[in-house]
């Protein structure tokens, strides 16, 4: 699909009608996980390491995350970055869906913008990173969101000890948002 068509679809068609459900998940049972990656904090000196599976535009977004004080985690297989996850520290408003955001509180952290490179999927990397993030914030409530249809991510979250605490159904009909 071309960039123009994708942008048109997201900005016009999705506002005419969309219907999706988002699960809100919370780390409840810290279940240690392992995988073939080493996890490192994202810094200004290694932020470009994800270029092998991310675009230059996304790297610019990651630079802005660092400037805002977000905490990033990269997973490396050898010297190659194959995973990225970002954590927002509360209080902060976070987008859980294109048309809906929530406010995370003072002692909460929100995991977002997670992705594993195609060639590294199926190796428990996401569950390992989720577990690692839980260890990095031992006194905070660790939450995240996932599309209800993203079964692979949900499986990783459950494996790492996350449980569903809410479900939001977000409908957009002719530019009017409905949340239940």
**Chain Cα centroid distance, residue 44:** 20
Show the tokens assigned to 36.
Answer: 């073939």
Measured between its terminal Cα atoms, the distance across the chain in Å is 32
Confidence of residue 107 (pLDDT cuts 50, 70, 90): very high
d(CA 128, CA 151): 17
Rounded percentage of the chain residues whose pLDDT exceeds 90: 81
Cis status of the peptide bond prior to 91, with omega within 30 of 0: yes
Q: What is the pLDDT of residue 10?
A: 60
Confidence of residue 172 (pLDDT cuts 50, 70, 90): confident
Q: What is the mean pLDDT of residues 57-74?
A: 98
d(CA 43, CA 63): 9
Name, in order, each residue with C-beta under 8 angstroms of 79's C-beta and a sequence gap of 6 or more: none
- Structural fold of domain 18-179: Aminopeptidase (3.40.630)
- pLDDT value at 139 more than 60: yes
- pLDDT value at 155 more than 70: yes
What are the boundaries of each domain within the chain? Answer: 18-179
Q: What is the pLDDT of residues 12-65, one digit of tens each?
A: 555 677 788 999 999 999 999 999 999 999 999 999 999 999 999 999 999 999
Q: What is the mean pLDDT of residues 55-84?
A: 97
Confidence of residue 98 (pLDDT cuts 50, 70, 90): confident
Q: What is the pLDDT of residue 7?
A: 66
Confidence of residue 115 (pLDDT cuts 50, 70, 90): very high
d(CA 152, CA 80): 22
Q: What is the pLDDT of residue 105?
A: 97
Q: Label residues 74-98 b or e (16+ Cβ within 10 Å = b).
A: bbbbeeebbbbbbbbbbebebebbe
Q: What is the pLDDT of residue 14?
A: 59
Q: What is the pLDDT of residue 36?
A: 97
Where does the chain have alpha helices with state H? 3-8, 14-16, 56-68, 125-136, 151-159
């Amino acid at each position: 699909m071309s960039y123009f068509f994708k942008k048109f679809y997201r900005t016009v068609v999705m506002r005419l009608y969309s219907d999706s459900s988002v699960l809100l998940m919370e780390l409840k049972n810290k279940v240690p996980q392992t995988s073939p990656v080493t996890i490192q904090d994202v810094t200004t000196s290694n932020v470009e390491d994800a270029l092998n599976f991310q675009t230059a535009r996304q790297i610019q977004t990651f630079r802005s995350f660092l400037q805002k004080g977000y905490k990033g985690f990269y997973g490396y297989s050898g010297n190659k970055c194959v995973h990225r996850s970002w954590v927002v520290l509360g209080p902060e408003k976070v987008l859980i869906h294109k048309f809906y955001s929530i406010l995370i509180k003072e002692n909460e952290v929100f995991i977002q913008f997670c992705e594993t490179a195609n060639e590294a999927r199926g190796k428990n990397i996401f569950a390992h990173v989720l577990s690692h993030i839980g260890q990095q914030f031992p006194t905070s409530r660790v939450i995240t969101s996932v599309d209800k249809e993203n079964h692979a991510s949900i499986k990783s979250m459950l494996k790492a000890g996350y449980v569903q605490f809410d479900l939001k159904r977000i409908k957009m009909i002719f530019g009017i948002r409905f949340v239940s």
